[in-house]
Structure 1
Amino acid sequence: MYKEEQYRSFPSSVGICTIGQMPGTTPTIPGMFPNTFPMASGQFGALPVMPVQAMTQQATRHARRVYVGGLSPTANEQSVATFFSHVMSAIGGNTAGPGDAVVNVYINHEKKFAFVEMRSVEEASNAMALDGIIFEGAPVKVRRPSDYNPSLAATLGPSQPNPNLNLAAVGLSPGSAGGLEGPDRIFVGGLPYYFTEAQIRELLESFGPLRGFDLVKDRETGNSKGYAFCVYQDLSVTDIACAALNGIKMGDKTLTVRRANQGTTQPKPEQESVLLHAQQQIALQRFMLQQPAAPATKVLCLTEVVNPDELRDDEDYEDIVEDMRAECGKFGTLTNVVIPRPNPNGEQTPGVGKVFLEYVDVESATKARQGLNGRKFGGNQVVAVFYPENKFSEGDYDG
């Protein structure tokens, strides 16, 4: 989080204007907008009081402010206020009625950051979608301030941006980095560097659509750094996804998946059945993503097709082989069908649970893979991958 410095201690160069000031009015401070601290008059003269509205503003301030980092040296309070009020209106982020969304701006010129205070908690959350927006020629970071309290903020209003904001109106892409703040942000580490964004999203979306996703890349090379952040549209699946994905091996790496702002979490008892189903889906995704796509060959390996128990009886086994030959022969001429069977003495047999199909040419095998991969078979989703011809010819089915 970001250290909030000098927020209440203004530099000595900032003065308070008193010339011509009317009794009972608030002095003007650069960066502060009129009527931020209203005064009340009584029979004893002008006495400062804090009405109910002001107390409410004070209690919600941590959830109504956003940190804006990476400002240009020419930025000032008014230019920042005008800019963010304009873009909030442009994306449809204003929810507190007519007028500007920004009520206060404080800038630390030395460290080039600002705190921008919005009228409402919901508008501050909508402003989080503006992360990366171009201001005065450079992208700026939009984050929560260091005093942001997620659990308290959740009782005050929405903690995530409205998913229907028109971010394209200000040159931003929905679902990139926007919406990636708050207690439900997930850290995904240990990703193989060759995984594409599409592959990672496919893995994560096994649990549901994402509200935000950001694969962290090297600025100079554009290559993946091996970790990403995401937020789900349905926040109730956050812990389920973390529990199912964490510890899964991907190639030579092991995934670390957890809430970004805390340690490992455990799913609630009522989430157990959902978690079990999710883990089954992840097992399929893991098999498909363990390594870059294998080169096309004449041999296909199918998984999630047969149950080892079904292969023990001779008659059942012959029926399964014939069914496979008939169904898979629709894509081209088959020269061999191999379905490894369990060893009667209980010893581990390589390849049990897999089906190997050898076609007369690569073209037929390619058609078969396109037609079989992802199909439902006995309630399971088939995974079809090319298998090395040399290993198949040697009877090595343990690949």
Structure 2
Amino acid sequence: MSSVPVAERNQDATIYVGGLDERVNETILWELFVQAGPVVNVHQPKDRVTINHQGYGFVEFLTEEDADYAIKIMNMIKLYGKPIRVNKASAHQKNLDVGANLFIGNLDPEVDEKLLYDTFSAFGVILQTPKIMRDPDSGNSKGYAFINFANFDGSDTALEAMNGQYLCNRPITVSYAFKKESKGERHGSAAERLLAAQNPLSHSDKPHTLDIYKKSYKPA
């Protein structure tokens, strides 16, 4: 039941399962959803501090039809007395995108997507695999990346803790990314934060975050 990186999943055949009781684990999810169709992978993101899952998970089916059928028959059924929410993972991520998008600059060429994910997921839920901009011909990093958090608590904490910290022997810069199709306006505005505060999904996936950070941050 190995976890597959978000980028390698078939998103059209992957469902989001939310509202999970703390007793639910990946085995239980597998046994529940295999009743709807062949399951390829089950993943429950875990909090880096408490090691507990965060009340939601992803189930990848063999086909999109199986995923659609699972949504149809499993949404709002009760698991340990709590109704679960089931919908397409891609739709969930779109709903969760509140604008908590960070720009990470001055990256060492050795920094890859996994290192960025492992480093920054300590601060909050990351919606997608971090996007390192690469040269289309050589595949080499251009030295900067984007990370999309589920809420501003995570992105604010990451910015405060990681801006100027060393990653692979090079100090990185962390700031809010510029909005697409905007004239110099960055994410993280008061308007975005107000909308995010009204988004119930962003609250349901709010992780436990660290309160104390060491000045010299070295990822494991």
TM-score by structure 2 length?
0.41
Larger Cα-atom Rg: 1
TM-score by structure 1 length?
0.24
